[in-house]
Amino acid sequence: MLQYFLKRLVSLCLSLVAASVLIFLTLEVVPGDPAAYMLGINAQEDTLNALREQLGLNGTILERYLSWAGGLLVGDFGTSYTYRTPVAELIGERLWVSLPLALYALILSTLIAFPAGIWAASKRGTLADSGVMGVTQLGVAIPNFWFAMLMVLVFAINLRWFSAGGFPGWEDGFLPGMKALTLPAIALALPQASILTRVMRSSLLDTLGEDYIRSARAKGLTKGQAMWRHALRNALIPVLTIMGLQFSFLLAGAIIIENVFYLPGLGRLVFQAISARDLIVVESVVMLLVFAVILVNFTVDLAYAWVDPRLRRRR
Amino acid sequence: MSLLEIEGLSLEIHGEPILKDVSMQVEPGRVLGVIGESGSGKSMTAFGVLQLLPNGSQCRGCISLAGQDILTASEKDLCAMRGRDIGMVFQEPMTALNPLQTIGAQVAETILVHENVPKSEAFERAADALRRAELPPERFPLSRYPHELSGGQRQRVVIAMAIALRPKLLIADEPTTALDVTTQAQILDLLKRLVAGEGMGLMLISHDLAVVADLADDLVIMRSGEVVESGPAHGLFRNLQHPYSRALLEASGHVPERSGAAQDKALLKVRNVIREYQSHSHGWWGRTTHVRAVDNVSFEIRKGESLGLVGESGCGKSTLTRAILGLEEIQGGEILLGGTPVVSHHRVNRDVRRRMQVVFQDPYGSFNPRWRVDRLITEPFHLMDSPPFGAEREAAVAEALESVGLSAADSRKFIHEFSGGQRQRIAIARALIIKPDLIILDEAVSALDVSVRAQVLDLLAGLADRFGLTYLFISHDLSVVRSITERVLVMKSGQIVEEGPTDRVFDKPQHAYTKQLVAAAPVLPADVA
Amino acid sequence: MKGLLHNRSTLPGALLTVVFAGAALISLFWVPYDTTVLNIADRMKLPSLAHPFGTDQFGRDILSMLMVGARTSIAVALVAVGIGMLAGVPLGLAAAARKGSLPDEIIMRTNDLVFAFPSLLIAVMITAVFGASALNAIIAIGIFNIPVFARLTRGAALTLWSREYVMAARVAGKGAARISLEHILPNVTNLLIVQGTIQFSLGILAEAGLSYVGLGAQPPTASWGRMLADSQTMISLAPHLAIFPGMAILLTVLGLNLLGDGLRDLLDPKLRRART
């Protein structure tokens, strides 16, 4: 178990280093002179030099990478050129919107998908099964930001149950914040829940065809008992994989959905940074999101070991 | 009254008839052997007794267990009956256990489902069941997971699950087919002792006459969903009525006729061959361990000879095969065909490769499903400098197909249009087409039903005589090796432990392992074969 | 072909796909109204005979915009799938042919790494450096597709490499490259077609998302995502501006998914056998 954990941990660190190199190369080396790029063509030579100095652009590429990566390790993302504040602060504020949103959506999608998938699998071939499959077919096909717009139209503009956008902040309490995040989370969760339902159902059906289910039935277990005690945990293995992948889609999706609801999250930050050519902010946000994706994959690997005893001892 | 009474059972699945008017009885304390080839409906009969049939199944007739009618019983009563009154053992021990639960939990579950007892008591009784299945918990704690056990050990867990509540009837569906011969003998012995000791009735299902003959008190022979012959085992073998059962018996002990004799010239020389694998057993910072799959093996095959190589799974015989074929590099020794090394300077010698071909076990996985037969069997032409084309190629294809008993017209068909036996014939045609000297038969008849197997063995014997072929016949099945080879090698843990004329080795084995192997091999009673 | 129509999801799927692909093709030669000409007098008209789907805030015909948008979406998604396949399939084949070797390890690690970058992040990085354009969307979605196809191909190829017919081909003296082309590739094509349909539909969704946040096609190129972005401020006044482009995306993706399901059932012999 420890060995498996250490091996995944090393792999996690290597992925992070590789990802940071990739991001650094794309955003700081490819543009040539980032300072000139950020200031545009009309920049004065002394302003340029000042910015170069501030960004630490005067060293070699390796030195610049090392100082950037070293900063990341201690939570120093550099200073935003446009906001004139430390990027870490900027991101910290926005993270309190984006992260709860993605988690909220993940929980919603799991809460919908598990029962729906299990139900459809246990009613295989019936009208109920076809019904669930039909709905998920739509759910997979619907663009989440459009679904969000429709929900704004119905629940905010017509019914006035929710506000059409904006975020009150967590200072006013937990519930108002959650309420503002509810429509966005539903919009994010729906397509993911549909995918997860389908995966859950087909994985469960696959497992139900396994020999050990037959063994369990021969012991005298009912169909339902065989499913809950033997099939479900085995079926979880592919479901975990998909849940891991989904988190990265949820994070990316959150960036888009924030735009629909005018939420002050990482999405808004990164798009403003792009139009302001603030490469440092873009770089930091991308790095943070990639870090989150890699971390989630790591967690999923650990979850495998928790579910599957075969992984605990051997490699 | 019998323990299990099946009377006029008919079964349809989605309207397709599977069983027709099947009747049989199991008496307490006795073993009923059910014999049949694939598609005979023997397993479906067993699933019928448990009422664990596929969706869309329709049963007619009568099945009663100790007077209780099974076909009219409610699902609730059936659940109460399964596991408590009837235990079942399946063919595939590798997949019959839930990989995520400990063996203790899985055996205890049988008890917990049927009786309202505390968990600790269920586990104590599970330990007892495992002990009765001869998997003592002192050596194999209840906390083991299935993947930590071998196939034979897993089958003991499955048996413990089935007998935990001391059912009246035990059904064993090909319980040893997936196991090695020595393990098979142990499991069969165990079943025999359980029946005797606990007074259970046993329904033993198998395709292998010899396995059943040894154990059964009563016999039923099935074919295409019907019972063709039944009665007490003792008299039945000597007095078979139905032509099919007689043919089946003949095929089981079939010895193909051969006339050709081996010349005194060595064709293949294997000298001190070593094949090692590196395995990183402790992750990539751990030590690298070397596993010797083939350990200093030497032997020769004379031209025209048919040499057998027997051994259980994992003994290294497949690795040796691949090394001879030049598919894997060896770490020591040499392999020479007609005096030329198979591999020189890390390159496989084309001239040598042209002189040997191979036939594999699986008649389904041996062919690219998208190619037609003519393209499939001419693939070895790739080894020739100027392969025949046009009419010449067609003639070669026709000749190869006809020599294996197929017709030239089959060359335009796809592989899925053929049966298992026909596919194996096509595989032989593919090996024959470049007229090799040596053909390696890697479990080439192991996946075939006995009657088809007898035909393919006849074909091989005939071809050897006709084309002067040399065979290296690799198999785990001693009876097959005995019927077709003149000399045999016995392999264990990468080494050849015994070598000699086939009859001598099987009749008077010298090495302890060979003795064990020969003793374990199920044989038909001497007076019938 | 008969089998294709037996599946109840295939026919509607194929029909929807044909309708949208047809609309995109026709838009190359003819659209009801020129989408580059603004006509403020006719702005935000509800659907009528002259404008079946109404007009937008600049008086442009929505049907014409949708047709041109279909062209953008399909072109972007198709090229992205092409990039994914052309790069991913050979990588997957090569990795499988040398399983466990250094090249395999490198290919698979790189794959994992790229997988950690959702296409939106790739688009964000490209746009931050080179500015926004439809080409960005193509590259971002295309790069994202490479590991998808590489993994799929490698996984399927690995099971084929253990088949005995591959062993027979090796005994016949064929090399890894030749076996990959003759025996492996033809037997993974079905899988690639099915995955291709799925990635195509995901590509359309991704393209819509990217143009919606301004990282994709730029004006004056009409695209469904941009139409939705433009309609957002007007959604309470003129909901039809948002309804039609959204429906277009939904129906195209739905059609492709249904078609993919049908193809999978038809082409995957394993599933076909399980069905009977």
The pair of structure tokens assigned to A240 is 């975990």
> What does the alpha-carbon distance between residue A95 and residue A82 come to, in Å, rounded to a whole number?
19
Report which of A254, A253, A246 is spatially closest to residue A97, judged by C-alpha positions: A254
- Which residue on chain B is closest to A309 by alpha carbon? B100
- Rounded to whole angstroms, the Cα distance separating B45 from B22 reads 8
The answer to whether the beta carbons of residues B317 and B309 sit under 8 Å apart is yes
**Segments of chain B with pLDDT less than 70:** 1, 260, 279-288, 525-529
Mutate to test the interface with B, among A219, A227, A234 (most CBs of B within 10 A): A219
Question: HSE (CB half, 13 Å, CA atoms) of B440?
Answer: 26
List the single residue in C163, C173, C183 with the smallest CB-CB distance to B382: C173
Burial-class residue B348 by CB neighbours within 10 Å (0-12, 13-18, 19+).
middle
Pairwise CB contact (< 8 Å): A310 & B147: yes
Q: For chain C, how many residues are written?
A: 276
Residue A311 burial (10 A CB sphere; 0-12, 13-18, 19+):
middle
Return the partners of chain B (3 or more C-beta pairs < 8 Å). Answer: A, C
Question: Which band of pLDDT confidence, cut at 50, 70 and 90, is reported for residue A138?
Answer: very high
**Contacts with C172 from chain B: Cβ below 8 Å:** 379-383
What pLDDT band is residue C268 in, cutting at 50, 70 and 90? low
Contacts of A23 in chain C (CB under 8 A): 125
CA A58 to CA A52: how far, in whole Å? 7
C175 and B CB contact within 8 Å: no
Tell me the average pLDDT across C177-195: 91
CATH T-level fold of C4-29+68-275: MetI-like fold (1.10.3720)
CB–CB of A309 and B84 under 8 A? no
Chains near A (3 or more Cβ pairs under 8 Å): B, C
Q: Which residue has the higher pLDDT, A297 or C146?
A: C146
User: Is residue A25 in a domain?
Assistant: no
Buried b (16+ CB within 10 A) or exposed e, C228-237: bbbbbeebee
Q: Which residue reads 């073993």 in tokens? A: B31
CA atoms of B8 and C230, how far apart (whole Å) = 75
Taking phi first (over 0 means left), then psi (-120 to 50 degrees means alpha), and beta for anything else, what does residue C214 get? left
By the 8 A CB rule, do B297 and B320 touch? yes
| Partner C contacted by A13 (CB < 8 A) | no
Other Cβ atoms closer than 10 A to B120: 9
Tokens 């003994």 sit at which residue? B315
Same fold, B1-85+208-252 and B266-355+436-520: yes
Q: State the amino acid at position A136 in one-letter form.
A: T
Any chains having at least 3 CB pairs less than 8 A from chain C are A, B
- Residue B209 has, within 13 A of its CA and on its CB side, a CA count of 25
Which residues from B are below 8 Å from C when comparing CB atoms? 325, 327, 348, 350, 353, 357-358, 360-362, 365-370, 379-383, 427, 430
CA dihedral over B117, B121, B123, B128, signed as positive or negative: negative
**Stretch 140-169 of chain C: residues touching chain B, C-beta under 8 Å:** 163-165, 167-169
Work out the mean pLDDT of chain C and round it to a whole number.
85
Structure tokens at B70: 């099974």
Q: Chain-wide mean pLDDT for chain B?
A: 88
- Residue A51: inside a domain, yes or no? no
Domain map of chain C by residue range?
4-29+68-275
Contact B100 A308 (CB under 8 A): yes
Helix axes A279-307, A2-24, angle to 10 degrees: 160
pLDDT of residue B428: 93
Residue numbers in A near C131 (CB within 8 A): none
* Identity of the residue in A219, A222, A225 whose CB atom sits nearest the CB atom of B161: A219
Q: Residue for token digits 């995040």?
A: A181
Whole-number Å distance between alpha carbons of B489 and B500: 7
Q: Shortest CA distance to B157 belongs to which of B97, B92, B234, B240? A: B97
B467 touching chain A per CB within 8 A = no
Q: Do C228 and A297 touch (CB under 8 A)?
A: no
Instruction: Work out the burial of residue B500: count CB atoms within 10 Å of its CB; fewer than 13 is exposed, 13-18 middle, 19 or more buried.
Output: middle
Element housing B68 (H / E)? strand B68-69
Q: What's the CA gap between B126 and A220, in Å, rounded? A: 16
Q: Is the peptide bond before C220 cis (omega within 30 degrees of 0)?
A: yes
Q: Give mean pLDDT, residues A175-184.
A: 87
CATH-assigned architecture of domain B1-85+208-252: 3-Layer(aba) Sandwich (3.40)
| Whether C235 and A153 lie within 8 Å, measured CB to CB | yes
> Cβ contact (<8 Å) for C171 and B353?
yes
Q: Which residue has the tokens 């026909």?
A: B422
Question: What is the pLDDT, as a whole number, of residue C154?
Answer: 93
**CB distance A27–C125 less than 8 Å?**
yes
Residue B497 phi/psi, 5-degree rounding, is -95, -20
3-state secondary structure B115-138: CCCCHHHHHHHHHHHHHHCCCCCC
What does the pLDDT read at residue A164?
A: 78
- Judge whether C232 is closer than 8 Å to chain A, CB to CB: yes
Query: What is the residue-wise DSSP string for B467-507?
Result: HT-EEEEEES-HHHHHHH-SEEEEEETTEEEEEEEHHHHHH
Interchain CB distance below 8 Å, A138 and C242: no
Query: In chain B, what residues touch A313 (CB-CB under 8 Å)?
Result: 148
Q: Mean pLDDT for chain A?
A: 86
Chain A CB within 8 Å of residue C66 CB = no
Scanning C142-181 for CB atoms below 8 A from A yields: none
CB contact under 8 Å between C249 and A15, yes or no, is: no
**What pLDDT shows up at residue B280?**
56
Among B146, B145, B126, smallest CA distance to B136 is for: B126
Question: Among 3.30.70.1230, 1.10.150.530, 3.40.50.10310, 3.40.50.300, what is the CATH number of B266-355+436-520?
Answer: 3.40.50.300
A269, part of any domain: yes
Residues of A in Cβ contact (< 8 Å) with B156: none
Q: Residue A231 is part of a domain; what is its CATH number?
A: 1.10.3720.10
* Closest to B317 in 3D by CA, of B513, B490, B519: B490
Structural domain range at position A228: 96-311
> Who among B362, B370, B382 is closest to C172 (CB)?
B382
Q: For position B181, what pLDDT does the model report?
A: 86
- Give 3-state DSSP helix, strand, coil % of chain C, rounded to 5: 75, 0, 25
Contacts of B369 in chain C (CB under 8 A): 187, 269
A chain contacts of residue B84, beta-carbon cutoff 8 Å = 220
CB contact (8 A) between residue A19 and residue C113: yes
User: pLDDT at residue A56 above 60?
Assistant: yes
> Is C198's pLDDT higher than 50?
yes
Interface contact C172-B379, CB threshold 8 A: yes
The pLDDT value given to residue C1: 44
More reliable by pLDDT, C274 or C264: C264
Least Cα distance to B5 among B57, B59, B66 occurs for B66
Mean pLDDT of C15-34: 88
CB nearest B100 (choices: A216, A221, A233): A233
Select the residue from B279, B319, B368 to test the C interface by mutation, using most C Cβ atoms within 10 A: B368
Identity of residue B258: R
Q: Does C213 touch chain B (CB under 8 A)?
A: no
Q: What are the domain boundaries of chain B?
A: 1-85+208-252, 266-355+436-520
Query: Which candidate from B79, B110, B280 shows the least CB-CB separation from A222?
Result: B79
What are the φ/ψ torsions at residue B7 (nearest 5 degrees)? -130, 115
In C, which residues are within 8 Å of A259 by CB distance? 212-213
Partners of C170 on chain B (C-beta within 8 Å) are: 325, 327
Q: At what angle do helices B243-252 and B450-467 cross, to 10 degrees?
A: 50
> Residue C272: its pLDDT value, please?
43
The complex's ipTM?
Answer: 0.86
Looking at the partner chain, which of B84, B95, B282 has a beta carbon nearest the beta carbon of A211? B95
How high is the pLDDT of residue A276? 82
Q: What pLDDT is attached to residue B350?
A: 85
pLDDT in tens, C139-182: 999 998 999 999 999 999 998 998 889 988 998 888 899 999 99
Q: Nearest by CB to B52, which of A212, A218, A307?
A: A218
For chain A, what is the HEC assignment?
A: CHHHHHHHHHHHHHHHHHHHHHHHHHHHHCCCCHHHHHHCCCCCHHHHHHHHHHHCCCCCHHHHHHHHHHHHHCCCCCECCCCCCEHHHHHHHHHHHHHHHHHHHHHHHHHHHHHHHHHHHHCCCCHHHHHHHHHHHHHHHCCHHHHHHHHHHHHHHHCCCCCCCCCCCHHHCHHHHHHHHHHHHHHHHHHHHHHHHHHHHHHHHHHHCCHHHHHHHHCCCCHHHHHHHHHHHHHHHHHHHHHHHHHHHHHHHHHHHHHHHCCCCHHHHHHHHHHCCCHHHHHHHHHHHHHHHHHHHHHHHHHHHHHCHHHHHCC
- Say whether A282 and C209 touch across the interface (CB within 8 A): no
| B148 vs A contacts (CB less than 8 Å) | 313
- What's the pLDDT at B528? 53
Q: Is the pLDDT of residue C275 over 50?
A: no
Phi then psi for A41, rounded to 5 degrees? -75, -20
Domain count along chain A: 1
Across residues A285-306, what is the average pLDDT?
A: 88
As a whole number of angstroms, the distance between CA A121 and CA A130 comes to 10
Q: Report whether pLDDT(A306) > 60.
A: yes
Chain A residues 219-238 within an 8 A CB cutoff of chain B = 219-222, 225, 229-230, 233-234
Closest Cα in chain B, distance from residue C165 (Å):
4
